[in-house]
């Protein structure tokens, strides 16, 4: 059902969200009394104000997490798993309201918000099951004289920082394994989209998470609040999802006290279409890889590299699909493309498209911002994009598909790998040996082979090169929150 801005249902969903800081199991105002505004990117208007944490609030949150750590580490794994499982059930039972809330603060269409919420909840279900599978090892030393006992223990207090583009899933991907492993935490959501995280904290409390295990500090001063916590030394782990630039700065800060780190950073995904590809499947995959989240995804296809023999046909089909997409407020029925998150993000898309056109690219469809309130940009296909264009080097984070051509497999792989990023690559081919050869040669942590979607809570998500360190999800996801202790046993 479509919602008009400010409708009773929208207001009811907003009124139900806690707007304070969540410290030691209670919601409270910032010590300074300051608040920050959360805006609707489809109207530019403020939806609600939430408490704006100061460095003192951050320290209080850390103290609460430190105090809760020993008790939580001692909680039986089954009980920790059951908290996650109950949270999964609660999220899924409230998906309609949570989706409306997410769409209001972030802009994506309701159907996509539901998709993200399902994905987010699945991390809780997955890690509920992993909580009871933390094992160790007992082994005989090679010379038979002694024994090795290897145990897995929680890392300890974690600092978690998440971005605005997936306001709930980027949180559950960290909170799920941290809870499963027995770690307490301070999480700082993005200031543009804190509401989904606040709603999630309330659900986890309802699911039985003990006080102090999860503390939420929303702030407009991310650096000032987080740096003292990173340098404090009592937190033992930092997990960050966001841009490579901020990730790099946080790695430097974490070096001070040698924190364990997980970094899920930026991407510049190549999308390769070979001459033998099933073109309709490639276009379908392109629509998913490009248009999920309006292109505001680290996994978004950023560069389309298409074999010369099929480039025109691919561009025609993609342009037709992109032109048919309905742009509008994400709460409206049938809308497939919402607004970008803010004016600055849209301005960057305008600049990148302008740069490509100045260098000779042709606009096949779209190519401009939409007038009126909100930060809308039309779905765009560019052809004949020279490889020197800025949008082949930088994350577009918008609904723009730039197409370049290649002639040989080696040329395609070289172009795909010509980036400091290495999160995900996509390739479409019907030839098995080419599929495997190219998958091996692509420098990325993940490859979408004949698919435009790689994200799955049961699979290891993460990048290589400057796209990050560590993996989230899958059976390795919990490793990031566990230490290994070895006991040498003298019999
Ligand atoms: P961002 O600017 O790096 O911000 C990410 C988070 O870091 C936000 O919570 C932000 O707070 C916080 N932050 C900023 N400066 C900080 C500092 N000095 N100290 C501590 N925290 C700080 O990234 P974004 O624009 O929100 O998100 C988009 C980026 O995330 C893209 O590069 C995208 O590729 C990447 N991303 C990667 C993945 C992945 O899994 N690899 C997933 C999603 C997104 P504020 O809100 O206050 O700025």
- The per-residue pLDDT for range 172-229, each reduced to its tens digit, is 999 999 999 999 999 999 999 999 999 999 999 999 999 999 999 999 999 999 999 9
Q: Which atom of ligand 1 is nearest to the CA of 163?
A: 26
Going from the Cα of 246 to the center of ligand 1, the distance in angstroms, rounded, reads: 7
Max distance between CA atoms of the chain, in angstroms, equals 77
* β-bridge partners, 151: 485
pLDDT tens for each residue of 297-345: 999 999 999 999 999 999 999 999 999 999 999 999 999 999 999 999 9
- Please report the pLDDT score of residue 410 as a whole number: 98
Q: What is the mean pLDDT of residues 350-373?
A: 96
Going from the Cα of 290 to the center of ligand 1, the distance in angstroms, rounded, reads: 20
Please identify which residue in the block is written with the tokens 């899920």.
Answer: 264
- Alpha-carbon distances of 12 from 106, 225, 443, rounded to whole Å: 18, 31, 47
Please identify which residue in the block is written with the tokens 């941290």.
Answer: 178
58 Cβ inside 6 Å of ligand 1: no
Going from the Cα of 45 to the center of ligand 1, the distance in angstroms, rounded, reads: 23
Active-site annotation, residues: 264
- Residues 6 or more apart whose CB falls under 8 angstroms from that of 341 comprise 41, 106, 107, 164, 165, 192, 296, 375
Going from the Cα of 345 to the center of ligand 1, the distance in angstroms, rounded, reads: 13
- Residues 6 or more apart whose CB falls under 8 angstroms from that of 249 comprise none
Sketch out the chain's domains with CATH numbers.
8-265+467-487 (3.40.605.10), 269-456 (3.40.309.10)
- Please report the pLDDT score of residue 1 as a whole number: 55
- Please report the pLDDT score of residue 215 as a whole number: 99
pLDDT tens for each residue of 123-157: 999 999 999 999 999 999 999 999 999 999 999 99
161 Cβ inside 6 Å of ligand 1: yes
Which residue's alpha carbon is nearest to atom 18 within ligand 1?
Answer: 223
443: pLDDT strictly greater than 60: yes
243 Cβ inside 6 Å of ligand 1: yes
Q: What is the mean pLDDT of residues 113-126?
A: 98
**Encoded tokens for 391:** 């949008």
Distance of CA 89 to the CA centre of its chain: 22
Q: What is the mean pLDDT of residues 80-85?
A: 98
Ligand 1 pocket mutation pick from 174, 243, 393 by most atoms within 8 angstroms of CB: 243
pTM for the full model?
0.97
Query: According to the 3-state scheme, what is the secondary structure of 12-28?
Result: HHHHCCCCCEEECCEEE
pLDDT tens for each residue of 227-254: 999 999 999 999 999 999 999 999 999 9
103 Cβ inside 6 Å of ligand 1: no
What confidence tier does 100 reach under pLDDT thresholds 50, 70, 90? very high
Helices 77-93, 169-181: inter-axial angle, 10-degree rounding:
160
* β-bridge partners, 137: 150
What is the chain's length? 491
Which residue's alpha carbon is nearest to atom 21 within ligand 1?
Answer: 222
- Please report the pLDDT score of residue 5 as a whole number: 85
Q: How many CB atoms lie within 10 A of CB 103?
A: 29
226 Cβ inside 6 Å of ligand 1: yes
- In whole numbers, what is the pLDDT of the chain averaged over residues? 97
223 Cβ inside 6 Å of ligand 1: yes
């Amino acid at each position: 059902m479509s919602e008009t801005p400010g409708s009773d249902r929208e207001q009811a969903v907003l009124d139900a969200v806690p707007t304070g800081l969540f410290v030691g199991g209670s919601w409270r105002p910032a010590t300074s009394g300051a608040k920050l505004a959360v805006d609707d990117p489809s109207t530019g208007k403020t939806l609600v104000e939430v408490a704006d944490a100061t460095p003192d609030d951050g320290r209080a949150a850390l103290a609460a997490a430190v105090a809760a750590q020993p008790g939580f580490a001692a909680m039986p794994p089954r009980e920790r798993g059951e908290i996650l499982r109950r949270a999964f059930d609660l999220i899924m039972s409230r998906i309609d309201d949570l989706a409306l809330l997410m769409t209001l603060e972030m802009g994506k269409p309701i159907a996509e918000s539901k998709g993200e919420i399902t994905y987010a909840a699945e991390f809780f279900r997955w890690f509920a099951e992993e909580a009871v599978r933390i094992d160790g090892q007992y082994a005989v030393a090679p010379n038979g004289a002694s024994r090795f006992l290897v145990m897995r223990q929680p890392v300890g207090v974690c600092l978690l920082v998440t971005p605005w583009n997936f306001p709930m899933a980027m949180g559950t991907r960290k909170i799920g394994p941290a809870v499963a492993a027995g770690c307490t935490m301070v999480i700082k959501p993005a200031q543009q989209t804190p509401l989904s995280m606040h709603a999630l904290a309330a659900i986890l409390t309802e699911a039985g998470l003990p006080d102090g295990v999860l503390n939420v500090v929303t702030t407009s001063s991310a650096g000032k609040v987080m740096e003292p916590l990173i340098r404090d030394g009592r937190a033992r782990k930092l997990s960050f999802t966001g841009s490579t630039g901020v990730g790099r700065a946080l790695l430097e800060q974490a070096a001070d006290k040698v924190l364990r780190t997980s970094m899920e950073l930026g991407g510049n995904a190549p999308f390769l279409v070979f001459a033998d590809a099933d073109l309709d499947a490639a276009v379908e995959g392109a629509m998913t890889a490009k248009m999920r989240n309006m292109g505001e995804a680290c996994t978004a296809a950023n560069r389309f590299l298409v074999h010369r023999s099929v480039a025109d046909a691919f561009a025609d089909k993609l342009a037709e699909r992109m032109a048919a997409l309905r742009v509008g407020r994400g709460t409206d029925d049938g809308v497939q493309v919402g607004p970008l998150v803010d004016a600055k993000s849209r301005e960057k898309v305008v600049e990148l498209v302008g740069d490509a056109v100045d260098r000779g690219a042709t606009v096949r469809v779209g190519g401009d911002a939409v007038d009126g309130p909100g930060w809308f940009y039309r779905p765009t296909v560019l052809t004949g994009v020279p490889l020197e264009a800025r949008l082949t080097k930088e994350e577009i984070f918008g609904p723009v598909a730039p197409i370049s051509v290649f002639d040989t497999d080696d040329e395609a792989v070289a172009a795909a790998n010509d980036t400091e990023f290495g999160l995900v690559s996509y390739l479409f081919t019907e030839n098995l040996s080419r599929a495997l050869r190219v998958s091996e040669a692509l420098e990325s942590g993940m490859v979408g082979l004949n698919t435009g979607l790689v994200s799955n809570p049961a699979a290891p998500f993460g990048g290589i090169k400057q796209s990050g360190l560590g993996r989230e999800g899958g059976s390795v996801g919990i490793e990031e929150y566990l230490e290994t202790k070895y006991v040498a046993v003298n019999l």
